[in-house]
Chains A and B, each alone.
Chain A
Amino acid sequence: MLMIWTSIIHAQAPPVSITLHVRGARLEEVLGSIGRQSGCYFVYDIARLREAGKITLNLDRVSLKEALDRALEGQPFGYAIFDKTIVIRSSTPPLPVRPSALVVKGRVTSEKKEAVPGATIGLKGSGRGVFAGEDGVFSLTGVHPGDTLRVSCIGYEPKDILVKGSVPLDVVLHTFANTLDETVIIAYGRTTKRLNTGSVAKVTRSELGLQPVADPLAMLQGRVPGLLVTASSGVPGSYYKIQVRGQSSILQGSDPLIVIDGVPYAPNNTPLNQLAFAANPAGNATTGGLSPLALVNPADIESIEILKDADATAIYGSRGAAGVILITTRKGTAGKTGFTIDAYTGFAGATRTLRFEGTPAYLGMRRAAFAGDGVAPTSINAPDLLVWDTTRYTDFTKMLIGDWGKTTDVQAGLSAGSDETQVLLSGNYHRQESVFPGSLGDQRGGVYASVSHHSANKRFAADFMFNLTADHNASIAQDLTADVNLPPDYPALRDATGKLSWQAAGITFAINPLAYLLDRYDAHTTNLLTHLQLTFQVARGLSLKASIGYNALQVNETGIQPIAAQNPATSPTGFAQFGDRFMRNWIAEPQAEYSTRVGKGRLLVLAGTTWQGLNGTNELTSAYGYRDDALLGSTNGAAGLSTVNTGSLYRYEAVFGRLTYNLGDQYLLNLSARKDGSSRFGPGKQFASFGAAGAAWIFSKAPAIRTLFPFLSYGKLRASYGITGNDQIGDYQYLDVWSSTPYPYLGSLSLYPVRLFNPYYSWEINRKLEGALELGFAGDRIISTTAWYMDRGGNQLIRYGLPLQTGFSGITENFPALVQNTGWEEELTTRNIVTRHVQWTTTLNLTLPFNSLKSFPGIATSSYSNLVVGQPLSVVDGFVSKGVDSTTGAYAFKDVNKDGQITYPEDYVKNIAHLAPTFFGGLSTTLRYRAWQLDALASFRIQTGANYYYYYYNNGYIPGTIYNQPVQKGTVWTNQEKPASIQRYTAGYNSTAYLAGYDLANSTAAYTDASFIRLTNLSLSYTLDGGLARKCGMTQLQVFARAQNLLTYTRYKGADPETQNAFVLPPLKVVAAGLHCQF
């Protein structure tokens, strides 16, 4: 946002600019016109002036000096400027020179002194022109002095230059103030929003930088239409689920391809951990976990582009079906060496938690349950009533997940550069403590370096990026949120000596949550990411590029279960697990780019090939039988060991090409294609082709439209269609492989079949269609983009779930169903107030997605018979709740087959709820007043979700059992006469009520409104440019306060409506304050 504002201020105070169109005019008339436009006065001898010849001039917004030069060119006059007075004097008439043709050479650069490759240098009025090379250098023949050159390039304001001689020209172009002309990174290149034929959303550094969180994915929440980012947990370093334009496959769906500076990120968005820990809901290592993107420092990111439609993604071929996320890192800038330090510190706590009953209400519930069941409580089934001290009260939410975790972030960087070489060096540190008791959390440190250079003759260029990040996640084996429903009169968890207690009066407790704090989990992660791009301009218009990237990621995990953390009743020995994962990913992409003029337009041809290899090794060692907790860090003290190691190799190659044709910045056509080969497929299935076409018409350029709709400053219609694929299926799925079991039988080799085998699966085909209308009003102060899309995935390659009677839970196969995602996306940016001291902009984004299963042959006998053709994939089935039966006192349900019993599948009703958001979006706003800046982002989702009944009752935590219950409004059934909304309490002995509790968890009552609106980000800053900053030796000093997830409004019946799962720590709300210092 800051960048945009700076430019606007610049546009507010333009230098005097003169526009003049005259033919055969007298000099005095011309000077009069210049005087009126510039506010200057002329002093001259009118008699001498009339000796001057007739003048023909075409000046467009040129400077005063240029206007005078042009007006007096070839005339026997010179001039001198004294403030607002200009004196015209006669000069000795020069010898008449017959202008002869020249070769004009020069270089086009930006105001940052960076080359502007591909700039157009046109000779006005001739239709002739050339393009600047990669280094910005151009050479144009057949130019006469007095000719005007127009220099233009995407993203820059065009500039006219008067040719005076053969002196090399140094043309500096200024970047556009208009967001439409900001650079947008696309696959293997760049464009602008104005000239893009595809659907690409951009999140800039100025938006990312406002958020006090560690993971760049978290920063995308609510900012991009069509992109849904969902936190999986509030445990620091935990995973974010990302989904571009809806769920396209039956299971959880593929992640978008993540590319960092041209290098596909080795883990993509697959969790990094092998051992399950607190960030894995319910201890299941296959969901949630360590976010791989948490290893990318957001402050090193310049922009994140989200590529959505076929035009933008088809060039990624088999990997682009689920969208592409391009992360572009920062580069150094030419000019004075700058040094910056940013630091903030703050606190984080859980957003929204369940509120539980106090001890008296809880005990009342339990006593009523036993009385109603007709069973006498015993010390075994009711220690909470008979054994424990019933006057105790512990708030387990506060005790287990109620801490405020400290957060700290420090970034320091140096940017320096000359015309030829620019360097950026930075270091960073981030720490986020957890809300669990004790000093746990995630800390990350890294260094980042970027070097850009071009040779003196400007034909060679190199861009190099290096990033090394190390992270230590100190956590515990399980999420303590799962234990906040312990009975409030639970005995003291430590005895008088401070040791963990496991029993009260001889009765063992089920769990001691404090013991889980000793089950430490530690993950040490190192991520090396480096990229080199070499460019060589072979000839005018033709350049060759080699893009080489390497990414090595290492994860070392340790999980321990010490003797001290275990109930002595179960085992006296310690247990440890060690996970080692190593990923090495390399990519080489030679490319050629050729630009030329074809007809009246410009043609850009890109061709390239890709070779990529990803080598992975995983090793998981389990060590048993430690007798001494002190030895748990090493395998040496273990009585026994078992190690499983797996290796995998992924190889990928491709050839790709793209043709872009731009006719007068009005008609645009983009064709892209890719032929892919992947080792993830069996012989004969390894190669496939993908492609797309995109076209755009900037109709606001058409004179007729301009006349008809003068209020329209910008209008574009674009459409695209194409085919993309997906190979995110894991390696070797086509092989019929047996592997060694974790433990050999009798010490001999023991094998087991790894998977069901299917050698026949082949590429998935995803067809994407998009149409969009982009409009700008009031000089582009209002810009609206409305897009409609339709993605159809057939032949989807997924892991298809199977009943366990097949011996496995699923198989990789081409899924016969056709899934359609359609939707509307709207993005509306308005610059509400633009004055010198106050600037206010807002951006609204809205997404209205529709997901539908179009066809599914054999659905009735498949593993997905719960799905309904014509309904979304998120459809759920279940019982239909009818409230409390007044006779039995238990929840009643619709008895569909009227047999007097509630059974599956007879009484299950299909399509009782859809769980995916039906409407979501965000509203961000930036308000600047002098040195103050306020930024806010509110995001919302309209959705139905599983409430706490689903999570608690499905686990047997039914009111009346030995678990505390969330405070619930309503009347509990006690007798037939009194109407009730909550069923009778049962300790589990009333099988009707107990079963009804489970049935409620799978009924319409368990799926309720989970919509929410959240103040995702709030940031306030004050910038001191002058006195104080300078006193401290700084050029700028900024003080800021930032907050994430500060407020949430929802009627959700559960903990947090985003994570939903009642056993999972809700996302964190963070409040922080800090300084930005610039030297």
Chain B
Amino acid sequence: MRRCITYLILAALVSCKKFVQVDAPAGGTANAQVFSSDASATAAMNGVYSLMMGSNNAFTAGAVTIYGGLSADELFNTTPSPLLDQFHQNTLISSNSLLVTNCWGDAYSYIYQVNAILDGLPKSAALSAEVREQLTGEAECVRAFCYLYLADLFGRVPLETGTDYTINATMPQTPRAQVYAQIVTDLLNAQNLLTPAYPTAGPLKPNRWTAAALLARVYCYERDWADAVTESSKVIDSGGYHLAPNPNDAFLAYSPEAIWQLAPVVPGFNTFEGYDFIPADAGTAPAFAVDTTLVDAFEPGDLRLGAWLGKRTVGGQTYYYPYKYKIQSGSAHTENYTMLRLSEQYLIRAEARAALGDAMGAVADLDTVRVRAGLGPVATASPAAILQERRVELCFEWGHRWFDLTRNQAFSMGFFQLKPAFTLNDTLYPIPLSQLQANPSLTQNQGY
């Protein structure tokens, strides 16, 4: 009898180890497989763009434009909301959930994936040189793009360039200058690797001029005027781009002035900015309205006022709202989301040339932008004139106004009147509280 039991136990002990070894789940691909072919490595980079465009108010799908626009003197929310009010009134609380999910968290999730790609590409022998170089260049462009916005919004941020979570989890912040240095390194390398031609029909993935255009902005923000002129000239002189004659066409898919656009991925939508800004119904107010100081900043005759601002009167109240993107929603695809465009390059070069003493060149660049807007030439390219032109040309677009104000400390009396709670500490957003708690090596920005 006991022998019987012993046999039973023995039989069970020897039971097949294979039983508990299961295959990978359907729909999943092992990391090693991802970099085993040109197609799947390209799919990994496609995944980054897909996530960047995949949800409304994500870091690269409206967050920077909306929050930057509220923090600056561009937009206001038309219904009270504690989380949005904090941006608009410059009373941000470090626990504001929009900051941590839509800004910080999104950016670092793209950065992780890009780092994983940059880690995987050189290790694989199966990839063709062209694809490896193209993808490396794309990944570096995206990483630079994310870090540029993180550094401009938050100041000092952790500079993660690898995928090892044991290192990344406790990494402290890096001074802003070092983050900028990494951005410059990435963009210079990307420029070398990328070709002037796009890998897609239209500017839907970065090319060489994407890297140059972004680098021009970085140099401009760093006040490295000579390099800013060089890089923006590369783009302007590339011959690949020209300003759309009609400002109404500037943000269309494959617009001639688009240097880099992302195609919509969520069915039923074009850009989320179009969805967020355009009131669908004639009887309702827009969720975000344009501040009257910005409306008043347009000179008489500026075609952009009519082209890029919508107007709605509801219950006797008149609201202007952002209307650069004209499709609220719908399955017809006519608009892409513009990441970089040519007129910014003219404005960068104008600012750099003016700083370098090339007044003629600066005026010429400003006028290029103004002529398209139906305006006459300017007499001088003064810092105020450049700031004004940037304000109206780049209005509610990727937070340009907010960064122009903060990098130049260009806060006027009018701004302080509009924003009674604003102090200079508010030029940087607070590091999200949950992140300070999750990584004690991080330190908070001044004033929070």
Contact = CB atoms under 8 A, between A and B. Distances in A.
Contacts of A638: 267-268
Nearest to A593: B5
B80 A381 contact: yes
Given A568-B280, A625-B331, A860-B440, A507 B112 contact: no
B420 A375 contact: yes
A988 B275 CA distance: 28
A736 B44 CA distance: 14
B4 to A, nearest CB: 7
Interface in B129-167: 157-158, 160, 163, 165
Nearest to B204: A746
A510 B24 CA distance: 46
A655 B116 CA distance: 41
A891 interface: no
Contact of B440 (A542, A611, A801, A865): A865
Interface in A69-117: none
B294 interface: no
B79 A508 contact: yes
B28 A739 contact: yes
A956 B265 contact: no
A569 B286 contact: yes
Interface string B1-31: 1101100110011010101111111111111
B27 A805 contact: no
Interface in B421-437: 421, 433, 435-437
Interface stretch (B50-58, B226-234, B235-243, B396-404): B50-58
Nearest to B106: A804
Contacts, number: 334
Contact of A741 (B30, B54, B80): B54
B70 to A, nearest CB: 13
B276 to A, nearest CB: 9
B313 to A, nearest CB: 8
Contact of A624 (B48, B268, B316): B268
Interface in B277-297: 279-281, 283-287
Contacts of A738: 28-31, 33-34, 44, 47
Interface stretch (A639-647, A779-787, A1067-1075): A639-647
Contacts of B416: none
Contacts of A648: 25
Contacts of A642: 266-267
A746 B76 contact: no
Interface stretch (B84-92, B189-197, B338-346, B374-382): B84-92
Given A611-B19, A640-B268, A745 B50 contact: yes
A994 B5 CA distance: 73
Contacts of A508: 78-79, 284-285, 287
A746 B46 contact: yes
B27 A803 contact: no
Contact of B51 (A374, A570, A572, A752): A752
Given A510-B79, A568-B284, A954 B95 contact: yes
B169 A806 contact: yes
Interface string A533-576: 00000110110000000000000000000000001111111000
B415 to A, nearest CB: 16
A404 interface: no
B122 interface: no
Contacts of A954: 95
A805 B267 contact: no
A905 interface: yes
Given A651-B20, A807-B108, A736 B9 contact: no
B42 A748 contact: yes
Contacts of A592: 4-5, 8
B388 interface: no
B439 A571 contact: no
B27 A807 contact: no
A952 to B, nearest CB: 10
B104 interface: yes
A44 interface: no
B446 to A, nearest CB: 10
Contact of B315 (A506, A571, A956, A961): A506
Interface in A796-824: 801-809, 811
A904 B436 contact: yes
Interface stretch (A674-682, A1019-1027, A1035-1043): A674-682
A649 B20 contact: no
Contacts of B124: none
Interface string A889-906: 000000000000101110
Give the size range of B's interface with the partner. 35 or more
B31 A757 contact: yes
A883 to B, nearest CB: 21
Given A592-B8, A655-B12, A738-B44, A806 B269 contact: no
Contacts of B408: none
B406 interface: no
A953 B51 CA distance: 33
B175 to A, nearest CB: 16
Interface string A597-638: 000000001011101000000000000110000000000001
Given A506-B315, A745-B46, A808 B13 contact: no
Contacts of B281: 568-569, 572
A337 interface: no
Contacts of A861: 170, 439-441
A866 interface: yes
Given A753-B112, A861-B440, A954-B95, A732 B28 contact: yes
A40 to B, nearest CB: 51
A649 B23 CA distance: 8
Nearest to B439: A803
Contact of B165 (A742, A743, A754, A811): A811
A866 B279 CA distance: 45
B100 A804 contact: yes
A1002 to B, nearest CB: 8
B82 interface: yes
A26 B53 CA distance: 105
Contacts of B51: 741, 752
Among A590, A611, A811, A988, max chain B CB count under 10 A is at: A988
B81 interface: yes
B267 A639 contact: yes
Contacts of B42: 748
Interface in A708-750: 731-732, 735-746, 748-750
In the A-B complex, list the 9 residue pairs whose CB atoms are closest, starting with the nearest: A506-B315, A640-B267, A956-B82, A807-B112, A625-B268, A569-B284, A568-B281, A624-B268, A743-B265
7 contacts: A505-B316, A624-B267, A732-B24, A743-B54, A804-B109, A861-B441, A865-B437
Given A567-B284, A804-B100, A805-B108, 8 more contacts: A505-B315, A542-B4, A646-B25, A647-B26, A686-B17, A744-B50, A750-B46, A998-B95
Interface of B: 1-2, 4-5, 8-9, 12-13, 15, 17, 19-34, 39-40, 42-44, 46-51, 53-54, 76, 78-83, 85-86, 89, 91, 93-95, 100, 104-105, 108-109, 111-113, 115-116, 157-158, 160, 163, 165, 168-171, 200, 204, 263, 265-269, 275, 279-281, 283-287, 314-317, 328-331, 420-421, 433, 435-442, 444, 447-448
